[in-house]
Structure 1
């Protein structure tokens, strides 16, 4: 006992002699007193033990580790001669693991910031790493995403020389026997570091060249458009030369104006607000979901009813996206009232599919290219703790599946970019949408019946898959394995998501055929319905994750999406019919207009920004409370997402949509879709600008004046029969 006390006094006295060290830090004292820094136990990787393409432990790494252990031993034994070396060794030790925080018994975090601060003092550089221990000897580097998904594993944060590789640390610490007293008696299976070399592949150089070319085109196009508009009062839309209009499509001068300009009168204005709220909701779910991957403190407990936890575990925002997609497709189709002859032409639907594909794919693939080229350089404690999840995700995927939108048929671990499965489901619904659109066009009753039948079939399949897979839950729980299976089997499959999409199509049909109606719902009846809808919405939100048996979980999942779809239907329809009172005014406020237009691109970019924000923290983020995560992570990510989405939209999304419309106007005239005789019989499509009827019955071709050309161009845009099928704001 006396010996232990004397050792403690000696260490404490040595610490007092060294300036800059916090002498009252009992954690450092405990590390020194109860740790063994045996240089003889350091085991390095030699050439005979490594795979092809790898390198052995660098000599400088060996030298720095030996020197660091020698300094720690000297400090521990009271024989430190060089105070600078001792101070450096203690500072590096100060960045080592703390005792685990409550709720995270398997994570011993150190200080990522403290480790980085050491690099500012000069000398050799350090990096922050996590040493992973498992119950058995294995290589957990090969596993996808967080190595902490499996039970009985620990992550031990430490700060070491930057020259050493993660596998070097795994070999060195794996050969020691409890180097630090609170390490578990488990084999070391891997070490993941915050600084690592990323080899530049062909994709990196290709996409960098693409960005340089795109930036040059945008710069010169914007400059040209600016000079035309300010000096010659010529807008890009008034340009008649096809080539120049293509170039002007990339102009920031006109594309930024599109973001803030008012939309046409028949646009469903409430969707802008709903899109913005839904996007914020999705970001909040992803924040909590990522933290829940390795922190069981936030796992959903069905016995506890909490509005906050229910909102973060709910599937309702996913249903909302699909509902709005079905609504806008049917609304724009029925609002345009295309003729039967136009609908009979297969070419019409080919244009419809192509326009929808280019709408969903252009911005997505450009950002996936950016994600693949530069996302791997986002390095930090969260990246290390999750086992380089971004690197693994981008290296093992196939991008062609995102191009043709079938990425929802692979496992979550194999998806190139996780948000892409939402767009894949949406495009697959678009392929089958014409069948229901034609039914709605023929008869509202027929279309509604078919939509309800499809919803019932989809709900039946959902119940079937729930009964076949006991691992499924009715909502997100924070458990990685269960949540991934819920996405793979239920959420990412179109037949299981049929109900909200079909309910949206029914709502779109009602609005499309009764838009502008003067029917006013009685205020008393409207108030009663609003109370009922509010109660139903809260019930769907709070009790959406309940259920013990698989049948109960399945019925909860199916009933929740049905109830929520009914609530959305009433909110949007009552707002359009001016029966929502102040709620309708709030939803239709012009403030939401730019957020509604940017929500698509914001949804695409938010996953990478979440990853970026998590990696700039001092340590790997952990769940604290709902409101802490909401204001500390969710709100900043939403703001950053809209900021980045603004540039993605004006540089990629809007130019591609403008070019798409130009090509259709240039190469797909009305005559290719509708016969000439049919055009002449229908006054709404009649075009008399190309001919003049003489008294002798002959027809002469006349030259158009600039005024007539502009009128003809506007007429084609206003009455083109393919316009209802080419709506830009479908998602």
Structure 2
């Protein structure tokens, strides 16, 4: 994924796993920590008989400010109500978290009871009520226990206070409790940014605009759908406007199964490759986000990284290469075929217009929905900051809409949109390559081969000179250079260009049947599987924590050559399936069941991170990380993603496709075919 969110965590897990306290004094200190009762109970007992003077908030002035006075009054009332056994006061203490068990196995969270805290609303007078305020207490227990590894990741414990109190005031009170219990100062903090109350933030103008815009689109689609259903008897005579906005019409297009015999230009196996790639993308992101959740066995990831199966997740970047390969193939094959009909004419500006009409509005709406609607549809203990990239979107949303975010900034709005930037940049230069291939044929193809070699050499030299690494155990937490290299166009251009050349090969040999003997076919499939296996598992021996690290030369060769090996293996799969040598692979990849999901894959890619982040931050209790639970989470996230993608396909992508069809003219078939090419290119990360 674009942002390697787990690097710092993995480094911390290594230290946790390596810690082995053997000192008798450490054991006693640890036993003392485990004897600590739930923090809410300790806090209530410690302050149960306090007076206003005892609750020292360290006021800067002689007379407390209004907010501090309100907090003081509410805290005194809370303690009095606890002594009286009032239900609301006991709920406030009951919702606290505790020192989590399993600290040495990576359990760094106790989420308490989020909803119990926020639903507290005790009416004190006609003008004042005490509401619950949920905050995270962050404590580094390494100094307390004498285990430095525990300082790498602080323990986060839920607390609940009156909403009138600030995090700084509560930090002082809880700090005194820790100091009294342990006899020393510990690194403890309560950050106001982690605090939440039941009162949501008022909607700003952009939120209102987003909601109104989506509501209008829903209304328009609903109106034309009802019009289509009740008033249009003949579906063959629908007006272009009704076809564009009717959910009935767009659903018919989405779920239509096209037979290959009806269109000899269709390559059926591409649907399966595209769908398997988008599933791989979503599954990888689900696993990586799952590893950052409040898992009770965070240290398990330390051993999980060493398992062969983890390589499928950690090397999910090859799904990117699959999409680049498909994109280059379709642009070349379909555009060159249309150029044959128009004697080499190609309207590049109209190509770009079709591309922008299909992609840019969806991307712009996604930015608004991620930023403004995510806080409205979800909430939870971990949702205090809203969408994780809100600040990046506020500062640099325009870079994303200009498709240069992969070079212009390191804080990308919609981090997974970096692929769109690379794909658009390659698409912009495609008319030059198309015209060159049409005019100079194999000579231009030889130049493209040379370009692939030069780009591969550039990647190799960049890694060698800067000593870049993509192995987790060798990366530092702030290694942004690798992050920039990961998103660079020149790193991913080779698979696109290989697909482009392969599309040219298919164009030259369209309709031709290649006769291959059994030895050649088996050799081709063996080489294909060998390239796939090497790309995925060649680093497995070196990825183990205790194994010798690869040299920069070895890593550079691996990442340079696998950028070529993966798309070359895909060339064989497509070729074998088209020529009738695909066997079971062709039966699987060419199944018509893939076609609807293939058409939805762009929407799935755009919206899947919305569902993944919402479900990750919506948890109320700690989770357990394993391959099985990750698979369960994947099917949940993927299912809701497909539903969300279908809905937004009907209100955004489908109408845009209808509008795009209105731009087509009969005297510009080349543009139409290139548009069809671009519409089938779906994105991934």
CA distance in 1, matches of 2:39, 2:162: 26
What's the CA shift for 1:449?
A: 1.9
Residue 522 of structure 1 pairs with residue 517 of structure 2: yes
Higher Rg of the two aligned structures: 1
What's the CA shift for 1:417?
A: 1.1
Corresponding residue for residue 639 of structure 2? 639
Measured against aligned partners, the alpha-carbon deviations of 1:448-474 in whole angstroms (never above 9, x if no partner) come to 32232222222222223223434x423
CA distance in 1, matches of 2:54, 2:405: 48
CA distance in 2, matches of 1:180, 1:312: 45
Corresponding residue for residue 371 of structure 2? 372
Contact 1:125 1:162 in 2 (8 A): yes
Give 1:148-297 correspondences, 5 Å limit: 152-161=152-161, 163-164=163-164, 167-168=167-168, 171-173=171-173, 176=176, 178=178, 181=181, 185-188=186-189, 190-191=191-192, 192-195=194-197, 197-230=200-233, 232-236=234-238, 239=239, 245-246=240-241, 248-263=243-258, 264-292=263-291, 297=299
Corresponding residue for residue 726 of structure 1? 675
Give 1:545-624 correspondences, 5 Å limit: 546=542, 548-619=550-621, 621=623, 624=625
CA distance in 2, matches of 1:534, 1:663: 43
Give 1:1-40 correspondences, 5 Å limit: 28=37, 32=41, 37-38=46-47
Corresponding residue for residue 698 of structure 1? none
Contact 1:115 1:126 in 2 (8 A): no
The more displaced of 391-400 and 369-378 is 391-400
Measured against aligned partners, the alpha-carbon deviations of 1:381-423 in whole angstroms (never above 9, x if no partner) come to 3334xx55526435543222222211112444x2221121111
Gaps of 5+ in 2: 1-33, 123-129, 143-148, 543-548
Aligned length: 610
CA distance in 2, matches of 1:492, 1:313: 15
What's the CA shift for 1:162?
A: 6.3
Corresponding residue for residue 334 of structure 2? 332
What's the CA shift for 1:498?
A: 1.2
TM-score, normalised relative to structure 1: 0.74
SS in 1 for 2:46: coil
CA distance in 2, matches of 1:606, 1:327: 25
What's the CA shift for 1:527?
A: 2.4
Contact 1:602 1:642 in 2 (8 A): yes
Contact 2:274 2:598 in 1 (8 A): yes
Do the aligned partners of residues 156 and 427 (structure 1) sit closer, same or farther apart at CA in structure 2, a change above 3 Å counting? same
What's the CA shift for 1:376?
A: 3.1
CA distance in 2, matches of 1:661, 1:109: 54
CA distance in 2, matches of 1:518, 1:215: 49
CA distance in 2, matches of 1:626, 1:483: 28
Do the aligned partners of residues 252 and 126 (structure 1) sit closer, same or farther apart at CA in structure 2, a change above 3 Å counting? same
Corresponding residue for residue 486 of structure 2? 491
CA distance in 2, matches of 1:560, 1:603: 24
Do the aligned partners of residues 463 and 402 (structure 1) sit closer, same or farther apart at CA in structure 2, a change above 3 Å counting? same
What's the CA shift for 1:48?
A: 8.4
Contact 1:128 1:159 in 2 (8 A): yes
SS in 1 for 2:581: coil
CA distance in 2, matches of 1:572, 1:635: 28
Do the aligned partners of residues 126 and 83 (structure 1) sit closer, same or farther apart at CA in structure 2, a change above 3 Å counting? closer
Residue 509 of structure 1 pairs with residue 504 of structure 2: yes
Corresponding residue for residue 144 of structure 1? none
What's the CA shift for 1:26?
A: 7.6
Corresponding residue for residue 382 of structure 2? 382
Do the aligned partners of residues 135 and 354 (structure 1) sit closer, same or farther apart at CA in structure 2, a change above 3 Å counting? farther
Which has the higher relative contact order, 1 or 2, with Cα contacts under 8 A spaced 6 or more apart? 2
CA distance in 2, matches of 1:399, 1:625: 36
CA distance in 1, matches of 2:242, 2:211: 21
Do the aligned partners of residues 330 and 122 (structure 1) sit closer, same or farther apart at CA in structure 2, a change above 3 Å counting? same
What's the CA shift for 1:335?
A: 3.2
Do the aligned partners of residues 578 and 523 (structure 1) sit closer, same or farther apart at CA in structure 2, a change above 3 Å counting? same
Give 1:640-719 correspondences, 5 Å limit: 640-665=640-665, 670=667
Do the aligned partners of residues 47 and 663 (structure 1) sit closer, same or farther apart at CA in structure 2, a change above 3 Å counting? farther
What's the CA shift for 1:46?
A: 7.1
Contact 2:37 2:98 in 1 (8 A): no
CA distance in 2, matches of 1:576, 1:503: 18
CA distance in 1, matches of 2:105, 2:499: 41
CA distance in 2, matches of 1:469, 1:41: 58
Contact 1:324 1:504 in 2 (8 A): yes
What's the CA shift for 1:326?
A: 1.2
Give me the CA root mean square deviation. Answer: 3.7
Corresponding residue for residue 242 of structure 1? none
Do the aligned partners of residues 556 and 163 (structure 1) sit closer, same or farther apart at CA in structure 2, a change above 3 Å counting? same
CA distance in 1, matches of 2:464, 2:379: 41
SS in 2 for 1:574: helix
CA distance in 2, matches of 1:96, 1:59: 29
SS in 2 for 1:157: strand
Contact 1:402 1:424 in 2 (8 A): yes
Contact 1:338 1:724 in 2 (8 A): no
Gaps of 5+ in 1: 1-24, 50-54, 73-79, 137-148, 240-244, 674-719
Corresponding residue for residue 391 of structure 2? 393
